[in-house]
Amino acid sequence: MKSTSSNSSKKKTSEYTWSSTIEDLLGKKSQKTTEKLNAYGITTLEDLLWIFPLRVMELPPVQEFSKIQDGMIFIGRGSVINIQAKPNFRIRGKGRALLYNIVVTVKDAFSNQYLTLRWFNTYGSVKQKLEKLNLIEFMGETSFFADKAQVVNPEIFPLESFKDESNFQKTGYDLKIQYPTINTISGIHIKKIIDQIPSSLWDNIEEILPQTIIEKRNLFNLKHAFKILHAKIKPDDELQLKAENRLIYNEFFIDQIKILLRRRFLKKPLAHSLKISEEILNEVKKDLAKDEPMMRMVQGDVGCGKTSIAFLAAAITIENHFQTALMCPTEALALQHFLSAEEFFHNTPVRIGLLLGSTSAKEKKIINKKLVDGEIDLIIGTHSLFQESVQFKSLALAIIDEQHKFGVEQRISLINKGQGTHCLIMSATPIPRSLSLTRYGDLDISIIRSMPAGRKGHKTRIVTPDTFSQYLSFIKTRLSMKEQVYIVVPAINESVEQEIHHLESALESYKKYFPEFRIKGLHGQMKSDEKQSIFKEFKNHEFDLLVSTSVIEVGINVPNATIMSILNPERFGLSSLHQLRGRVGRGDKTGFCFLVTDKQLATTSQERLKVIENHTDGFLIAEEDLKLRGEGDLFGKEQSGSQQRKLANLILHSDLLEDARVDLEEALKKNDPIIEAQIAKISKDAKIFNTI
């Protein structure tokens, strides 16, 4: 057996491909760096392509100190004359380790002038390195302190002689390329890693698009785009923009392929064909009658009648001797649907069950057995429904309310509990078109634009300390007219860190404001039977004001409740505010939503609340919310704030998203071999199917 060196895992330059691993590139000596990159999701050389420079700057030549101006990037050379290193403070948890403020005085290599280099709160290792230096070259941004020029936190290289070649101008284009820090690996180190990629590979980047699309959209080829963004080709503003647009298009195009594959996967099982009467909406009727699973989202603003459609679909399924599951994001909504289902299926033989996280272990066991034995026709519940312990005899329809509260993986976990299960999704949160082409691209979407006849809708007003007394007077008037009120708070308990309203304080305050009226509190941590009792009592008008957390955000239907007061509204997302106010104005009386603020808000928060006050269009509000919160994880569990793409943004680049969607459709019709090869390659990634 041949002996191997500790660095033998590194390949020869000619053996590298873009699928080579980071360990192949760095060898075993750099195992810690490899592990950090792998933990960040960077496992191959191809992944390194998608780490883009933060800045690519054209560098000045090495100059004498007299040329310094405030705020310029300066490269200088000089002799280290003096070093002052003062301990600053101890690093917590680091034993005796200290941080230092370091001042280095440098004499110009080309004149008799001096310059100060400064480091603040830096490590002892920096001090030790500086103490060994004599002749140096440095680069950084200049500033003036007490009329003296200085450079703070410069980059430094030691020199043997002032005649040495410049360390900062080795690209051939006099460029400084600054990469981001990745999982504590500095940008300087990231650049060194990327520089190790053999130059021959940069000319061997596989193109994923047919030439017809590249020419049609006037796109750079992939190789050219990457080389520009990594400054392998000296960029200018126009080249940079075109290179970015190519990669943005690329990301959207790959997304559309993934959505296509997931759609094919979900449509693959043979579905239960259900016979439907003519009263049902035509789209749902056609879907349920097919022998491939329905994957449809019924989208409409709050209070438009989506629940009725869902129950009718459930009735059809049950009439055909199959089971239906209705999954909700909160126990409060599940309870509300359970009560509504009991009303809807009153005087019918439909057997309804309720399964919540708070359901006792004994009761869960009984419910699970009934589901397996087919003794429950319609089960309503929360996340508990997709747990492994829950099995069905004949699940044929999965209804999911408020899909945006769940991940795609959770949706598919429930569907997979049946064979060829139809899926009907309800969403009261309007989906912007750009998001519907990505997150929900594997669904057919139906939009209900009309509201049930007789509904008066709602009006929204911001309440400030100046208008608070008028607000209380208005509530008292409506209560005296036998109407009911919701008071929503952002938290159950008092927070030391945040000065916000909580349930207990709001209960006390509103009991003082309205002592003659009946008030109760509600929150998500109550036992399910206690919550159910409070819902029933409020619906039956056994009390007048319900002080609650946002558990009432969706699905609660009390037509006599005409006022929704939201305390500390700046603590809620725009879509949540829109959902909450949808709880009022559901009957023949106009609803009123009050956004109650008790302090001066930041300008951005004020602007957000103005959007809610001035607009009732859920689509416009959803677009604003998308800008603020991010789009979430398209192929996993995360619902907001996540951004998997490196450059593409749904809001800023929606035109390129639409181009990618159209181009893929056309290429599929032509059976383009390049596209088919990409589909085959991407289909090997099981994550896009979210299989269990």
Sign of the dihedral defined by the CA atoms of residues 309, 314, 317, 319, in that order = negative
Q: What is the pLDDT of residue 561?
A: 92
Contact 276, 289 (CB under 8 A): yes
Residue-level pLDDT at 201: 93
At residue 639, the pLDDT reads 39
Which residues sit opposite 398 in a β-bridge? 325, 423
Strands (E), 289-415: 295-300, 323-327, 352-355, 378-381, 395-401
Q: Are 546 and 522 in contact (CB under 8 A)?
A: yes
Structure tokens at 145: 């302190």
Question: What gap in Å lies between CA 499 and CA 490, rounded to an integer?
Answer: 11
In Å, what is the CA distance from 631 to each residue of 243, 357, 415, 439, 638?
Answer: 24, 28, 23, 8, 9
What are residue 449's phi and psi, to 5 degrees? -100, -15
DSSP 262: H
Q: Counting every residue, how long is the chain?
A: 692
**pLDDT of 553:** 67
Question: What is the structure's pLDDT at 227?
Answer: 93
Task: Identify whether the C-beta of residue 492 lies closer than 8 Å to the C-beta of residue 502.
Answer: yes
> pLDDT at position 379, please?
97
CB 127 within 8 A of CB 102: yes
- What pLDDT, on a 0 to 100 scale, did the predictor assign at position 631? 53
CATH number assigned to the domain with residue range 458-614, chosen from the 4 options 3.20.20.150, 3.40.50.300, 3.30.200.20, 3.40.50.720:
3.40.50.300
Give the homologous superfamily in CATH for domain 273-448.
P-loop containing nucleotide triphosphate hydrolases (3.40.50.300)
Return phi, psi of residue 530, to 5°: -70, -45
Pick the closest to residue 214 from 204, 223, 201, 203 (CA basis): 223
Residues in CB range of 238: below 8 A, 6 or more apart: none
To the question of domain 60-168 being in CATH 2.40.50.140, the answer is yes
The conformation of residue 205, written as its DSSP 8-state character, comes to P
Q: What is the pTM of this model?
A: 0.51
pLDDT digits (tens, 9 = 90+) for 606-628: 888 888 888 877 767 766 766 66
Domains of the chain, by residue range, sit at 60-168, 205-268+653-692, 273-448, 458-614
Is the fold of 273-448 the same as that of 458-614?
A: yes
Residue 292's pLDDT is 80
Strands 378-381 and 323-327: parallel
Residue where the block lists tokens 């009006």: 459
What string of DSSP letters covers 406-459? S-HHHHHHHHTTSSS-EEEEEESSPPPHHHHTTTTTTSEEEEE----TT---EE
Three-state secondary structure along 146-170?
CCEEEEECCEEEECCCCCCCCCCCC
Strands 591-596 and 458-463: parallel
pLDDT of residue 7: 47
pLDDT in the model for residue 2: 36
Mean pLDDT of each 10-residue bin along the chain, 692 residues long: 45 81 89 92 93 86 92 92 82 60 94 94 83 92 91 91 78 72 88 91 92 94 94 86 93 87 69 48 70 79 72 89 91 84 89 90 94 96 88 93 70 86 79 55 65 70 93 95 94 63 88 95 83 88 93 74 92 83 82 90 82 79 65 42 61 78 89 87 64 30
